[in-house]
């Protein structure tokens, strides 16, 4: 979403970015401890891109006929958490489940257990990075993270460039899923 930032938002964004650069100067391996996460919609069927559906033909061959299709209405949400080494934890939201602070806390509890199992080298010193979605910033979530001693990287509002999921992970994932039918959510 494009948004004109206010002067205060720009200053906040600059301050957070300068803080991160300063932290990297002091602690060069800092980014290896960051686990970033976000959620996105995944469709049962999403249209192929024009490039994916293109075919080679001679100039004299007839134009291929294609049925007009649209994206399915069946969709689910996926949560993905990853670090510099790859995906740490992923899970789909069960059908009918509302994504609120209580559900997100359950997701974080499963993430915490997963980090302790698959990232033993950073299990006691990792840093969480997520955006400012209401479920992520709720008081119960902040209390849970404080109780578990999990620091959170600040994320300035309207800053998708600081959320790697948005420009790196989800476009790659969705590109692989385009043009494929999944008959059941389990698939």
DSSP of 16-69? HHHHHHHHHHH-TTGGGGEEEEEEEEEESS-PPPHHHH-----TTSPPPP----
**Per-residue model confidence as pLDDT tens digits over 104-136:** 999 999 999 999 999 999 999 999 988 888 899
Token duo for residue 66:
């294609």
**Per-residue model confidence as pLDDT tens digits over 74-110:** 567 778 898 889 889 989 888 778 889 999 999 999 9
The angle formed by the CA atoms of residues 32, 20 and 113, to the nearest 5 degrees, is 40
At residue 8, φ and ψ (nearest 5 deg) are -65, -40
Q: Distance (Å, rounded) from C-alpha 64 to C-alpha 55?
A: 9
| Alpha-carbon Rg for the chain in angstroms | 20
Q: Which CATH class is domain 30-50+70-177?
A: alpha beta
The chain-wide mean pLDDT, for the chain, equals 78
Inter-residue contact 125 to 33 (CB < 8 Å): yes
Please tell me the pTM assigned to this model: 0.73
pLDDT of the residue at 173: 61
Q: Where are the domains of the chain?
A: 30-50+70-177
Q: Distance (Å, rounded) from C-alpha 130 to C-alpha 35?
A: 9
Per DSSP bridges, beta strands 34-43 and 75-83 are antiparallel
pLDDT of the residue at 5: 80
**Per-residue model confidence as pLDDT tens digits over 29-77:** 998 999 988 887 766 544 444 444 445 556 666 665 555 554 445 567 7
Per DSSP bridges, beta strands 86-92 and 127-129 are unpaired
């Amino acid at each position: 979403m494009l948004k004109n930032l206010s002067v205060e938002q720009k200053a906040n964004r600059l301050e957070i970015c300068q803080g991160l650069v300063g932290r990297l100067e002091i602690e060069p391996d800092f980014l290896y401890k960051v686990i970033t996460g976000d959620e996105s919609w995944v469709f049962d069927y999403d249209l192929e891109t024009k490039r994916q559906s293109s075919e080679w033909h001679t100039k004299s061959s007839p134009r291929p006929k294609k049925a007009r299709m649209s994206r399915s209405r069946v969709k689910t949400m996926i949560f993905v958490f990853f670090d510099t080494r790859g995906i740490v934890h992923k899970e789909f939201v069960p059908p009918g489940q509302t994504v609120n602070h209580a559900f997100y806390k359950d997701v974080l509890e499963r993430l915490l257990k997963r980090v302790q199992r698959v990232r033993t080298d950073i299990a006691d010193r990792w840093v969480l990075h997520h955006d400012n979605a209401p479920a992520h910033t709720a008081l119960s979530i902040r209390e849970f993270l404080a109780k578990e001693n999990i620091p959170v990287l600040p994320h300035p509002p309207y800053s998708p460039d600081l959320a790697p999921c948005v420009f790196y992970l989800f476009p790659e994932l969705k590109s692989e899923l385009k043009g494929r039918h999944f008959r059941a959510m389990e698939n």
